[in-house]
Every structure is written in structure tokens, then in C-alpha cells.
């Protein structure tokens, strides 16, 4: 009996062993949790970084629309806007306000002075390259032409002592897409989609004595 008692651990010893075991397990779990929590955070940031890197890689395929306005007036304002075309394509259909619905903008006849824009575009599209409008006067020079599947509008304003110049160059595919919606509608999303298929190109350039405006398309997510 005394031997049996000697072999059997006392209640205090059992509790102590259990406590020690429990304490050891808790400490282990807590330590692992503490050690792993930054690893988890690190993993997330690594995943985010990897995702970012992936985005940077895919960014080369992404097309970015850039707008830059440089003003040389007293305020010396500079505006830079960089928008991924795909983002614009996805966001535009969510805007339903006034004339904009589902990525399309409504135009009424009042704004186009009864000109059948669709027929006009179709005529330009099917016509060979050439100059459609050339105006040269003391006040201004205007040139509208089709060249290498681009519609080019060039205006040189000579009225002011300091000249201003506007040049717009739009791929014909973009114009086609723009007018691909129903009657009295411009399909902005389709136009953006068509634009994203174009190479690096300058779309709008405005220069006068105070401001320079550039709108262009490339694959960089930064402005030069």
C-alpha cells in the first residue's frame, strides 16, 4: 500500500504537471501566434507587393490617358491627370446622370445644327486620305484632313498678337466606335475601348502664349 502510494503521484503533483503542460502549450501557441502574426502581415504585404509587381508587369499592357496642362501665367499652374483607359471603361457605365447613361452620352439635334453626324462620319470613313477643309485667313488657319486613318484638325488662331494653336488627332476607329451606338448617342465606352487598341499617340495639343495642354496615350503610368 505504501509502495502504491509512493508510485502514485500526489494530487498536487498531478495539477502541477497539468498546469505546466497547459502553460507550456499556451506559451507555445501564443508564441507561434505572435511570431506568425507579423509573418501573416508580411505575407499579406508580400502578396500585395507581388500583386503590385504583377500589376506593374501587366501595366505595360495597360493604356493610360494622360492630360497635362501647363500654365505660364502668374499662378504658374500645372495639372497632371493620368487615367488608365480600362478604369475609365469600367467606371463610365456606372455613371447615370443627366445625358450620360450606360457609358453613352445623348446628343440632341439642337447641338449639331441638324447635321447628320453619322452620315458625315461614314462619308469621312469611306473617303480616301486627303484634306477636307482648308481655310486660310488673316484671323486663323483651319485644316481638317484624313491622314493614315486619323482625322486631323488643326487650327491656328492669329487674331491675338500671341498666336494659339490647336491640333487634334483622332484615330478613325475611335470615331467609328464613338458613333456606333444608337441614333443621337455617342458610345464613350466603345470609343475608349477602340482607343486602348491604338499605339502611343498624341490626341490633343493646345498651345497659346499662356497655356500648353496635351492629351496623349501611352503605356506608362507616370507623366513625363
Partner 1 sequence: MVLLAKAAFGLAGTLVLAGAYAFHEGVIRIDVDEYRSGGSHVHLWVPAAAVPMAMHFVPSKHMRYASEPSREALPVLHAIIKELKKYPDADFVEVVDHDQHVRMRTHEGKLQIDVDARDEKVHVLCPLSTIEDLTTQLEKRGPAA
CB of 181 to partner 1, least distance (A): 20
Size of the site for partner 1 (CB under 8 A): 45
Cell output for 141 = 488657319
Q: Which is nearer to partner 1, 27 or 135 (CB)?
A: 27
159 binds partner 1 (CB under 8 A): no
Q: Which is nearer to partner 1, 77 or 139 (CB)?
A: 77
113 binds partner 1 (CB under 8 A): no
Question: Which of the 8 DSSP states describes residue 11?
Answer: H
- Report in angstroms the alpha-carbon separations of 110 from 107, 164, 205: 8, 29, 28
Contact stretch for partner 1 (CB under 8 A) within 40-48, 121-129, 159-167, 200-208: 40-48
| HEC profile of 144-174 | EEEECCEEEEEEEECCCCCCEEEEEEEEHHH
Task: Write down the H helix ranges in 8-152.
Answer: 11-59, 85-91, 109-112, 117-126
Are the beta carbons of 127 and 136 closer than 8 angstroms?
Answer: no
24 binds partner 1 (CB under 8 A): no
Interacting residues toward partner 1 by CB under 8 A: 19, 22-23, 26-27, 29-30, 33-34, 37-38, 40-41, 44-45, 48, 52-53, 55-56, 59, 62, 71, 74-84, 86-87, 90-91, 94-97, 221-223
Amino acid at each position: 500500500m505504501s509502495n502504491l502510494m509512493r508510485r502514485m503521484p500526489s494530487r498536487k503533483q498531478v495539477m502541477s504537471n497539468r498546469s505546466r503542460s497547459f502553460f507550456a502549450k499556451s506559451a507555445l501557441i501564443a508564441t507561434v501566434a505572435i511570431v506568425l502574426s507579423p509573418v501573416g502581415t508580411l505575407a499579406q504585404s508580400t502578396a500585395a507587393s507581388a500583386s503590385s509587381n504583377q500589376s506593374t508587369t501587366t501595366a505595360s499592357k495597360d493604356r493610360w490617358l494622360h492630360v497635362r496642362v501647363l500654365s505660364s501665367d502668374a499662378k504658374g499652374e500645372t495639372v497632371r491627370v493620368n487615367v488608365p483607359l480600362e478604369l475609365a471603361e469600367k467606371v463610365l457605365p456606372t455613371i447615370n446622370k443627366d445625358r450620360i447613361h450606360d457609358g453613352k452620352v445623348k446628343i440632341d439635334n439642337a447641338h449639331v445644327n441638324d447635321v447628320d453626324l453619322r452620315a458625315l462620319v461614314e462619308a469621312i470613313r469611306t473617303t480616301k486620305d486627303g484634306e477636307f477643309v482648308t481655310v486660310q485667313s488673316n484671323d486663323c488657319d483651319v485644316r481638317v484632313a484624313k491622314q493614315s486613318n486619323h482625322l486631323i484638325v488643326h487650327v491656328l488662331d492669329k487674331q491675338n498678337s500671341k498666336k494659339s494653336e490647336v491640333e487634334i488627332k483622332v484615330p478613325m476607329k475611335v470615331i467609328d466606335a464613338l458613333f456606333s451606338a444608337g441614333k443621337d448617342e455617342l458610345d464613350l465606352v466603345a470609343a475608349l475601348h477602340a482607343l486602348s487598341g491604338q499605339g502611343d499617340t498624341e490626341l490633343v495639343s493646345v498651345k497659346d502664349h499662356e497655356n500648353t495642354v496635351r492629351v496623349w496615350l501611352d503605356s506608362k503610368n507616370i507623366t513625363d
